[in-house]
Structure 1
Amino acid sequence: MKRSIFAPLMWLSLSIILVCAFVMGIVHTVLLDRYIISTKTNALLQSARRISELTLMLSRNYGPQLENFYVFNLDLIAQSSQSFIIITDKNGKIINYSTHTRKYITTDSLSLKGFESVMEGDETAKIGPYNSIFGEKTFTVAVPVQTGGKVYGAVFLNSPVPDVYKDRHTLFTMLAVSILISSLLAFILSFFMSKGITKPIRALGRAAHDIARGNYKRRVEISNIAELAELGAAFNTMAESVENHEKVRTAFIGNVSHDLRTPMTTISGFIEGILDGTVPKERQDEYLTIVLNETKRLSRLVSTFLDISKYEENKVELKKTSFDIIEMIRVVILSFQSRTEAKKVGVNFEFEGESAFVHADENEIYRVIMNLMDNAVKFVEPEGKIDISVVTDGAKTRISVGNTGEGIAESDSPYVWDRFYKADKSRTEAGNGTGLGLFIVKSIINQHGEEIILDNKPNYTKFTFTLPTVK
């Protein structure tokens, strides 16, 4: 069973959210620990410095009242900082402590291991040196009691680690709730974003099925996501192309049916007339000539269809020679004389000289000029004009065939080179033709490595192609 893209997108989004939340939690925890330790250290050091100053003051001006003031401040600082205070001399002998520290004092001295630098005048903070004294993990800061650069002792403030981190639990709970809410909101947003991505993709799938079922007018809405918008635009372009090709195919079947049925009907009718005696013997040759012409017409039509694959696959073998393109045009014009005279069309020539030699496949180029001339005669209005020009420009010779009359519609211009494509049938002579003429023309010119362009104006249409000049 095939899975929807929606589930992987959601799992991916959820994974990213969880990973980000986990990393953010770790980073915040580390930063929070550092902040709490730093804050607690600074607070205890400040208190220790204050006690150090009071200790020096008492040693200089000893008196009962000052001692009471000293003990009162000692207990007050111990309570506010939630710490156990011990004051020692330089050798570690305990000389004073806060009231609630008394129950932990079992000896008259304190080990100075790890705090040697304090007795040299430095301030130190450590976790764990006096755990055994207080029966729990303890954070200790030590500040020297000194004056004039001489150290007389040290002040130790010991704070139980659980008390140091008690605010962390509150902050961590708030952080966890914030991350949970943010993750939930991110999940909801991811859900709708995933829906927003999969919805246009599903719409593309439904549209493709509709087109496969024959609804060639089906289009999709363009998404506001750049990549999906590009995909939607490409799909609509493809759908439009499919619709146009289907129209061309339908029209082609109708045209071919008409082109095949008309001569077949003529041939069948005349043969039956000859066989059943309806056609007099003295007119049988005349009718047989018509039958022969219709047969040749059918042969040409079938040959044209057979040539399509060769031109599509560029399998036409070119036999290039040098020939006079102007002479070829004259021959072509003579073959259209009856049709141009019937429409009272004027044919204008623009030649730079009596001859212009080019290097190409003579038979294929003859077919190009015949098709372009047939196109011009077909679409020129009665009493209009057809212009034919041959201009040599260095290594290239430009051949143009243009005609007056209703131009090709702007919407038809991109498709005139497509096989079987026919513009508005009201512009043609009784809507005949297979829509292969310009396709064959462009295929032949492309095989020669040359180019052909359409110059389309409201009341004038001109085709120009190039061929190599023979000097």
Structure 2
Amino acid sequence: MFIKNKKRIPLSRYWTSRYLLTLCIGLIVIALLSALWIRNTTLENRINIMKLLTEDMANRIVSSNEIRPPLGRGVPGGFPDRRWMGLESEPFIYIANSDGQVVSSNRPMGPLGKQVDVNIIESKETVQKLQFGENSINFYLVKAPISVNENIIGWVVMMESEIGLVKVNQEYTLLTIMIISLALLGWGAIYFLTKRLSRPIKEVAKAAKQVQEGDYRIHLPLNSKEEEVYELVASFKEMVNRLEQLESLRAELLAGVTHELKTPVTSISGLLQAINDGVVSGEEAKKFLKISLKETTKMNTMVEDLLAFNSFAANAVHLTMIKANMNDLVENIVYQWNASQEEEGIKTTISLLKTDLQIEVDTIRLEQIMMNLLNNAKQAIQEGEIQVSVSFDKDVVYIDVADDGPGIPLNEQAFIFERFFRGEGKKYLHRGLGLGLSLSKMIAQAMKGDLYLKQSSSTGTIFRICLPRE
């Protein structure tokens, strides 16, 4: 059943758009915080400048015991110029006497008019935030006393709206340029990085489609500096090489299996035809029948192996797990195998545990695994010694089956557990389907254990069965 997929987006566009969206959101947040910081810092700095200017004016406009009005704007002893504070417009500056009556101001009209409120003068706060007008515009008022011999004879009052104090077009312009530049730079970096990362993935996807169509001749460069991308490409190429080998092996093994099943059928058919046609009779006919029965038994064993393999592959086999003594179990299996051997010249030795150990195991299935390993060892040595040893550690019991044969060629060791695989040195000497080790490994794994090749060299081969103690 196929599920209809949504419309797919190219990797570079998908991640570039999301990275760019994330970048823009981050830059907007940074811009807002920066603008807020600039506003508050500018407001604080300009209020501090207003305090310094009012104090300076208060010190300079005193003449004897009278208030001397400033001379003008921007000259020594005059009203301070707005450019000293970087303002767009002139702040309101009032010179008032001790009663609050305005003596002089730099602008004819203003929020305070001709009289400074007594509450403003009497307030202990040097900086005050007030609201004036119908729209309740916020103003910041800074005052400084005009003192003579520690007697206050008047006040210098400076006022400016909050909007005027925080207005800094140049800083906001620079901030905007910086944010836009960072956004463009980030987008460019993200675009090229995403494009660089997506290129090898596209190549792997294209190669995967090529493999899907049965073409294993792929070319993927291994020049990527990124470790993860390099591992992806290298692993994919290794997988393709393995698939190509397995595909070639599958065709060869299928032909081998067909041959192995056809050979006994042809043999049986020829022998029975000879008896039926009267070509042989008497004792010779009985001999032909005996050979036919032997071939039938071999073919039946092959079919049973196929059925058992398919059952385990489909997880359709029920295991009967019982408590069993490992020493007794292994000893009985080796004894039964020795009793079934007609040939002489093969010596079997057993190394058991020093203490009895019981584990849960399917005894029939374990016997099936060991019989297969012992038969394989016998085929490998013809004459020699097979060693069976039992050992354990904290959590696992090990059963090793070793022979002193010529060993398994290195180029075949990776495939010995593949279904239907038969080595070059074996398939021409012994008949079979090549399912023994595959089936044995599946049985061991079904019992929560494993079967693997421990070692193989010119001095011999060791297969190890692992079974959990608990």
Q: Is the 8 A contact 1:41 1:125 kept in 2?
A: no
**Deviation digits for residues 408-451 of structure 1, max 9, x if unmatched?**
355655654443344x4235553743221123333444555666
> Match for residue 317 of structure 2?
315
User: Are the structure 2 counterparts of residues 328 and 468 from structure 1 closer, same or farther at C-alpha, using a change threshold of 3 Å?
Assistant: farther
Measure, in 2, the Cα distance between the counterparts of 1:75 and 1:139: 22
The CA distance in 2 between the partners of 1:70 and 1:401, in whole Å, is: 109
CA RMSD of aligned residues (A): 4.6
Change (3 A) 1:83 1:433: same
Among candidates 2, 9, 22, match of residue 4 of structure 1: 9
Please report how far the alpha carbon of residue 372 of structure 1 lies from its aligned counterpart in structure 2 after TM superposition.
1.5
Shift of residue 325, structure 1, vs aligned partner: 4.8
Task: Check if 1:111 corresponds to 2:115.
Answer: yes
370-379 vs 89-98, greater mean Cα deviation = 89-98
Query: Within 5 A, what are the aligned runs for 1:75-114?
Result: 75=78, 77-78=80-81, 81=84, 82-98=90-106, 101=107, 103-104=108-109, 110-113=114-117
Query: Please, which runs of 5 or more residues in structure 2 have no aligned partner?
Result: 1-5, 85-89
Paired with 2:352 and 2:183, the residues of 1 have a C-alpha distance of 81
How far did residue 123 of structure 1 move?
Answer: 2.1
What residue in structure 1 maps to residue 64 of structure 2?
Answer: 59
> Hey, what's the Cα distance between the residues in 1 that align with 2:392 and 2:73?
114
> Distance in 2 between the 1:182 and 1:397 partners?
64
Aligned to 2:26: 20
C-alpha displacement of 1:50: 1.2
Q: Shift in Å at residue 213 of structure 1?
A: 1.8
Q: Of the two, which has the highest radius of gyration? A: 1
Query: 2:189 maps to which residue?
Result: 189
Q: Shift in Å at residue 30 of structure 1? A: 1.9
Correspondence for 1:460: 460
More helix by share: 1
**Amino acid of the residue matched to residue 288 of structure 1?**
L
Partner of 1:401: 401
Call closer, same or farther: CA 1:386–1:226 in 2, change over 3 Å: same
1:154 is displaced (CA, Å) by 0.8
Counterpart-to-counterpart distance in 2, 1:160 and 1:48? 16
Instruction: Tell me: CA distance 1:131–1:39, structure 2 relative to 1, closer, same or farther (3 Å).
Output: farther
Following the alignment from structure 1 to structure 2, what is the Cα–Cα distance between the partners of residues 104 and 396? Answer: 98
The aligned amino acid for 1:287 is F
> How far apart, in 1, do the equivalents of 2:29 and 2:185 lie?
18
- Structure 1 residues 224-269: Cα deviation after superposition (integer angstroms, max 9, x where no partner): 6677677667766765665565455334312211201222332333
Residue 16 of structure 1 aligns to which amino acid in structure 2?
Answer: T
Q: Partner of 2:375 in structure 1? A: 374
SS of 1:461's partner is strand
TM-score using structure 2 length: 0.75
**What displacement does 1:367 show?**
3.2
**Structure 2 equivalent of residue 388 of structure 1:** 387
Structure 1 residue 164, shift from structure 2 partner:
4.6
Give the alignment of 1:307-386 within 5 angstroms.
307-312=308-313, 313=315, 315-318=317-320, 325-326=330-331, 328-338=333-343, 346-350=346-350, 363-380=364-381, 385-386=384-385
TM-score by length of 1: 0.75
Residues 219 and 297 (structure 1), Cα distance of their counterparts in 2 relative to 1, 3 Å cut: farther
Change (3 A) 1:213 1:151: same
Structure 2: which amino acid aligns with 1:77? P
Question: What SS does the corresponding residue of 2:152 show, helix, strand or coil?
Answer: strand
Residue 307 of structure 1 and its aligned partner are, at CA, apart by 1.1
Aligned AA for 1:13?
Y
Structure 1 residues 364, 159: closer, same or farther in 2, change over 3 A? closer
Q: Which residue of 2 aligns with 1:291?
A: 292
- Aligned residue pairs: how many? 447
Deviations 1:172-214 (A, max 9, x none): 1222111111111111122223334544443443233223222
Alignment of 1:119-134 (within 5 A): 119=122, 122-124=125-127, 126=129, 129=132
Q: What is the correspondence of 1:262-273 to structure 2 with a 5 Å cutoff?
A: 262-273=263-274
Conservation of the 8 A alpha-carbon contact between 1:52 and 1:155: yes
- Mapped partners of 1:106, 1:307: distance in 2: 102
Distance in structure 2 (CA, Å) of the matches to 1:202 and 1:317: 46
Aligned position for 1:44: 50
- Identity across aligned pairs (percent)? 20
Q: Partners of 1:193 and 1:468 in 2: how far apart?
A: 49
Deviation at 1:145, TM superposition (A): 1.4
1:330-381 deviation per Cα after TM superposition (whole angstroms, max 9, x unaligned): 442354443xx5xxx552424679xx9999766545433331222112222x
Tell me the residue number matched to 2:36: 30
| Offset, 1:89 | 0.3
> Relative to structure 1, is the Cα distance of residues 157 and 292 closer, same or farther in structure 2, using a 3 angstrom cutoff?
same
